[in-house]
Structure 1
Amino acid sequence: MKPLKIIFAGTPDFAVPALAALIKAGHDVVLVLTQPDRPSGRGMKLKASPVKELALQHAIAVFQPETLKDVDAQARIEAVKADVMIVAAYGLIIPTNVLQMPRLGCYNIHASLLPRWRGAAPIHRALLAGDAETGVTIMEVVPALDAGAMVSKGVLPISERDTSQSLHDDLAHMGADLMVDAMQQLAETGNLPATIQDESLVTYAAKLQKAEASIDWTQSADLISRQVRAFNPFPVAHAILNGEVCRIWMATQSDVVSHVKPGTILDVGTNIQVACGQGALIVEELQLPGGKRLKAKDFIAGQNLKVGQHFE
């Protein structure tokens, strides 16, 4: 296999396994596109993206334009004369003329089973919707949002304990493996057969809003559990306990039937059981303002929590 000359465009942790896998597979990553360093942490010091950090470890040239619409930025990309561009959660719009620069095309790693969940938050939306499975799609990049023809897919079942974080990590590695396989085929044959998406099956994964993280205890325990797990690690589902915002990091559903006001604490033991509109929520991990994330039994002891108290 002759190594491909690759431009890799990615920014967050999700993209790191793919870049690492392509390097390991022996391809020639000649340029990494990633978003500019951003202020981070208490000191708001500029912080490099995870993709930039990996690229620098391998002495790969890094380019961080604010936009790819700039003529000089486009000239820098064109000068590389890449065979292919690979995109993984880059975060900037790639103009059509830039997509056409690589000789063999431009391919994206998208964390859903397209055409379901095009858009910004596919992992979270799959969890919130109660999907039985999610996955990764390798697709051609086109100007329309996540609308390109599909090269390959990998499927991942969603368990009752999965969070957005656990799915994110598994899908990042799945995407890396699928992209390496696709690039091997492209290197060997010069072609990647692709299937057009069925537009009648399209759903959109809207960007998360912080307001969505507020728990409504009149909802079913199943729905609230999905909300808690979908918003772990961000923006974290929350409710009011003793007048303070209590962040709930992990919770599963119980089929316990109760006839008390939703939000009422039914049991305190290893976990905290809370009445919902239907069923009960088993809360396993919580956090109060200024405090650490705690397992429920430690939280119960520290707050002297009792049956009959309420989450609002």
Structure 2
Amino acid sequence: MKIIFAGTPEFAATALAALLKTSHEIIAVYTQPDRKAGRGQKLTPSPVKQLALEHNIPVYQPLHFKASTEEGLAAQQELAALGADVMVVAAYGLILPQAVLDTPKYGCLNIHGSLLPRWRGAAPIQRAIATGDDETGITIMQMAAGLDTGDMMYKTYCPIASEDTSATLHDKLAAQGATAICAVLESEETLQKYLAEREVQDESLTVYAHKLVKSEARIDWSMNAVQVDRNIRAFNPWPVAFIQLDENNALRVWNSIISSQSKVNAQAG
């Protein structure tokens, strides 16, 4: 099949790398515009763009797909002209209007890092750890206009270890996501099967994984040790938990161990 791939960070690049090993034709890659990064603030391509260029795949980097603007309408028309059978989306970072979702023959499939409808939104990995979930996973869904509201086609499951950080869990789920999308796209017949058997999400079970903000990472010593530990692991590698020492100085905390001592009433510090 002819596939358009849309994604930006390493999570998405892992899936693209897996698809490149299949017999499918990746006819185009969509990714966010290059961003300034590092001390030199040099414009840097996304991991997905770097991988696409290594394989001589055409790369498109529109700012948006809003049909209300000449630029957005042109981006929609450009995508439609590619004639894709399906579009795979993983942590792309741009909103896709219904016109784009309807363009490929089989629509757009999303690789989401949670067991939907739990943890819809931008930070499913971090929220799962911070909340103390025992398990998470990957959901492949057919995209709809709402935020992660599409019908579910395929799930994989991943236990969350007591020592998992967002970094380690990210890597586990990225690998699972790559395997999952390849399973769904094993053949056109396989894709048709999963589309026919897709499941509507139960709205009553919806939980949102709101975007992280740096202020959340400040350690609140009124919390118990278990919650502090969860937050430290959830905010690794970003925004990184910290202790505010004074107005101008903070100590970053990358990991923690809960004491096995029975005394739990000791004051922080």
TM-score, with structure 2 as normaliser: 0.93
1:23 alignment counterpart: 20
Is the 8 Å Cα contact of residues 184 and 190 (structure 2) preserved in structure 1?
Answer: no
Q: Any idea what SS the aligned residue of 1:197 has?
A: coil
**Aligned runs of 1:95-110 on 2, under 5 Å?**
95-110=97-112
Aligned position for 1:41: 38
Question: Please, which of 80, 83, 86 is the counterpart of residue 84 of structure 1?
Answer: 86
Q: Quick one: higher RCO (CA 8 Å, sep 6+), 1 or 2?
A: 2
Name 2:69's counterpart in structure 1: none
Deviation of residue 218 (structure 1)?
A: 2.1
Which residue pairs with 2:166 in the alignment? 164
Describe the superposition over 1:122-162 as per-residue Cα deviations: whole angstroms up to 9, x where unpaired.
00000010000111100010000000111111111011100
Contact in 2 for aligned 1:160/1:252 (Cα 8 Å): no
Q: What is the match of residue 219 of structure 1? A: 223
> Is structure 2 residue 267 aligned with structure 1 residue 261?
yes
| Secondary structure of 2:129 counterpart | helix
How many equivalent residue pairs?
A: 260
CA–CA distance in 2 between the matches of 1:201 and 1:55?
Answer: 37
Aligned partners of 2:154, 2:188: CA distance in 1, in Å? 13
SS in structure 2 at match of 1:9: strand
Partners of 2:260 and 2:201 lie apart in 1 by 39
State the secondary structure of the residue aligned to 2:127. helix
2:253 alignment partner, one of 248, 257, 273: 248
Query: Relative to 1, partners in 2 of residues 1:185 and 1:198: Cα closer, same or farther, differing over 3 Å?
Result: farther
Counterpart secondary structure, 1:117: strand
Q: Does 1:201 align with 2:198?
A: no
Deviating more after overlay: 246-255 vs 220-229: 246-255
Deviation readout 1:256-297 (Å, 9 max, x if unpaired): 2154422x2xxxxxxxxxxxxxxxxxxxxxxxxxxxxxxxxx
Distance 1:258 1:128, change over 3 A: closer
8 Å CA contact 2:218–2:244 kept in 1: the answer is no
Instruction: Give the aligned residue type for 1:133.
Output: E
Query: Any unmatched runs of 5+ in structure 2?
Result: 67-71
Name the residue aligned to 2:183. Answer: 181
Could you say if the C-alpha distance between residues 198 and 155 of structure 1 is closer, same or farther in structure 2, counting changes exceeding 3 Å?
A: same
Deviations 1:56-94 (Å, cap 9, x if unpaired)?
000000000001121111111001000000000000000
Give the deviation of 1:242 after TM superposition. Answer: 7.8
2:47 aligns with one of 47, 50, 55:
50
Matches within 5 A, 1:7-22: 7-22=4-19
Distance 1:259 1:221 in 2: 10
Asked whether the equivalents of residues 151 and 195 of structure 1 are also in contact (C-alpha less than 8 Å), the reply is: yes
- Given that 2:90 and 2:112 are in contact with CA atoms closer than 8 Å, whether structure 1 keeps it comes out as yes
Query: Per the alignment, do residues 189 and 142 of structure 1 end up closer, same or farther by CA in structure 2, a change over 3 Å counting?
Result: closer
Question: For residues 253 and 157 of structure 1, what CA distance do their matches in structure 2 show?
Answer: 20
Q: Does 1:229 align with 2:233?
A: yes
Q: Quote the Cα distance in structure 1 between the aligned partners of 2:210 and 2:191.
A: 37
- Residue in structure 2 matched with residue 59 of structure 1 by the alignment: 56
Q: What is the Cα-based RMSD across aligned positions, in Å?
A: 1.4
Report how far residue 40 of structure 1 moved.
Answer: 1.0
1:114 and 1:252 map into 2 onto residues whose CA distance is 30
* Contact 2:123–2:209, Cα closer than 8 Å, also in 1: yes
Checking the alignment, whether the CA contact within 8 Å between 1:185 and 1:191 is kept in structure 2 is no
Change (3 A) 1:189 1:178: closer
* Structure 1: gaps (5+ residues): 265-312
Kindly indicate whether the alpha-carbon contact (under 8 Å) linking 1:222 and 1:252 is maintained by their aligned counterparts in 2. Answer: no
How many percent of aligned residue pairs carry the same amino acid? 51
